[in-house]
């Protein structure tokens, strides 16, 4: 009669043997979560050290198995620590942006731990989570409450995966409403002309390079971090295209980092309207003359005063200063992105085409798998040029 298998998440007898080099190896069979029994071994200089190291490895291995050390009586705070490790691992593997991880950790520290940290997992019920979310919404905002909900859901989802609870209690909480949805506001043709004229007339805004940066963002619809991360080797002035490969993010403990976009659709090649290509050509000529940047050099198109990468947060602050308090007080860097999308929508481009331009998430698996990375619809450049070529627009408004 065959010997019954080890229970999932447990190990068999530990054997310690001396090796030819005088060190010791400790071995034991462990039945993993997938039901397969595998040999686990660890070596050390002494028999006791080898055995202790193996026990640590087996303990860590059991943590990954269902029904591990997490139980209904484990404190929420302890599970939150494990969840944060997963979050940081996701950042290291590129699956999550550092800014998202920082936001989750901040809301966990500010709102979630004070309310739930000392509770046992079994005590974190739907009513308790719902009360926390409604309190955060009332005290702060719906947006903050939604992030808090994501944090609690992540922690409790981890507990559910370990078998500590049957279901995630956040699933049944009341939907967090933001109230009346704000109307998307974009710059009209006249406002675009006035905005650029205002920037050009402001010596500080000109010194901060805001007029050309605005033109580039209007012409492409890219995020401010993406615009500031563009280097000259990613601009093809002959083909009139720009590769969006990176975004600039300030990471706690690491400073300003140039990172890939969070999603595959964030990496895209965009056509440049003629007016934008000409603006870039003029900038490049002023910077390098007839020469090109050194081969392989990564040189920012929109650098800071020292020639390095420019901080998006500081640039947003510069834009807030330049917009003043009257007329354009509502304008942010994201308004340029909305303006680009609004122009394309008015020109009857499809939502898919506009999403390709903006680098938004794919609407279907088919488009993700079968639509390879491509230059977004070339017609977008013609439409954007017609709408955003400020010299032509200024003449038309003047003649009217």
Question: Which of 76-85, 122-131, 257-266 is the least confident region?
Answer: 257-266
- SS3 call for 270: strand
Domain assignment present for 182: no
pLDDT reading at 211 higher than 60: yes
Could you tell me if residue 148 is inside a domain? yes
- Asked if the structure places residue 101 within a domain, the reply is yes
Please say if the pLDDT value at position 391 is more than 80: no
CATH assignment of the domain containing 385: 1.10.443.10
pLDDT category at 373 given cuts 50, 70, 90 is very low
Q: What's residue 398's pLDDT? A: 58
What is the total count of domains within the chain? 3
Predicted confidence at residue 179, as pLDDT, reads 62
Both 374 and 242 in a single domain?
Answer: yes
Q: How far is CA 273 from the centre of its chain?
A: 28
Start-to-end Cα distance in the chain: 97
Whichever domain contains 138, its CATH number is 1.10.150.130
pLDDT by residue (tens digit) across 316-365? 999 999 998 778 999 999 899 888 888 888 888 888 888 888 887 754 32
Residue 70 forms part of a structural domain: no
Look at residue 65 in the predicted model and tell me its pLDDT.
Answer: 47
Cβ count within 10 A of residue 247: 25
Q: What is the rounded average pLDDT for all residues in the chain?
A: 85
Q: Provide the token pair at 292.
A: 């090109």
- Average the pLDDT over 262-276 and give the result: 89
pLDDT over 70 at 64, yes or no: no
Q: What angle do CA 126, 128, 130 make, to 5 degrees?
A: 65
Tell me the mean pLDDT in the region 65-70: 55
Residue tagged 């974009």 (tokens): 186
Percent of the chain exceeding pLDDT 90 equals: 48
| Structural domain that includes position 152 | 76-172
Mean pLDDT, rounded, for 102-126? 94
322, 345: one domain: yes
Q: Which of 343, 355, 333, 335 has the alpha carbon at shortest distance from 389?
A: 343
C-beta separation of 79 from 70 below 8 A: yes
Interval 310-327: pLDDT, tens: 999 999 999 999 998 778
């Amino acid at each position: 009669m065959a010997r019954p298998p080890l229970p999932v998440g447990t190990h068999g007898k530990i054997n310690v043997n001396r090796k030819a080099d005088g060190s010791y190896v400790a071995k034991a069979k462990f039945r993993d979560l997938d039901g397969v029994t595998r040999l686990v071994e660890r070596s050390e200089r002494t028999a006791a050290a080898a055995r202790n190291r193996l026990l640590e490895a087996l303990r860590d291995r059991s943590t990954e198995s269902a029904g591990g050390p997490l139980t209904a009586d484990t404190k929420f705070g302890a599970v939150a620590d494990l969840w944060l490790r997963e979050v940081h691992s996701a950042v290291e593997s590129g699956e999550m942006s550092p800014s998202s991880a920082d936001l989750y950790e901040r809301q966990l520290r500010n709102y979630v731990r004070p309310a739930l940290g000392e509770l046992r997992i079994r005590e974190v019920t739907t009513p308790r989570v719902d009360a926390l979310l409604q309190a955060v919404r009332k005290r702060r905002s719906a947006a903050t409450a939604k992030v808090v909900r994501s944090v609690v859901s992540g922690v409790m989802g981890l507990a559910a995966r370990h078998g500590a609870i049957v279901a995630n209690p956040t699933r049944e909480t009341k939907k967090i409403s933001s109230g009346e949805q704000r109307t998307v506001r974009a710059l009209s043709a006249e406002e675009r002309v006035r905005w650029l004229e205002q920037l050009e007339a402001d010596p500080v805004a000109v010194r901060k390079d805001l007029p050309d940066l605005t033109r580039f963002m209007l012409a492409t619809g890219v995020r401010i971090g993406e615009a500031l991360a563009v280097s000259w080797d990613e601009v093809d002035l002959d083909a009139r295209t720009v590769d969006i490969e990176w975004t600039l993010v300030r990471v706690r403990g690491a400073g300003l980092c140039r990172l890939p976009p969070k999603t595959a659709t964030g990496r895209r090649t965009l056509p440049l309207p003629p007016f934008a290509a000409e603006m870039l050509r003029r900038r490049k000529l002023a910077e390098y003359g007839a020469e090109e940047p050194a081969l392989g050099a990564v040189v920012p198109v929109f650098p800071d005063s020292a020639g390095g990468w420019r901080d998006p947060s500081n640039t947003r602050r510069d834009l807030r200063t330049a917009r003043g308090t009257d007329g354009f007080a509502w304008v942010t860097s994201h308004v340029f992105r909305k303006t680009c999308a609004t122009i394309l929508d008015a020109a009857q481009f499809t939502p898919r085409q506009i999403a390709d331009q903006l680098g938004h998430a794919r609407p279907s698996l088919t488009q993700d798998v079968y639509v390879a990375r491509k230059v977004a619809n070339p017609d977008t450049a013609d439409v954007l040029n017609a709408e955003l070529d400020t010299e032509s627009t200024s003449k038309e408004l003047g003649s009217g």
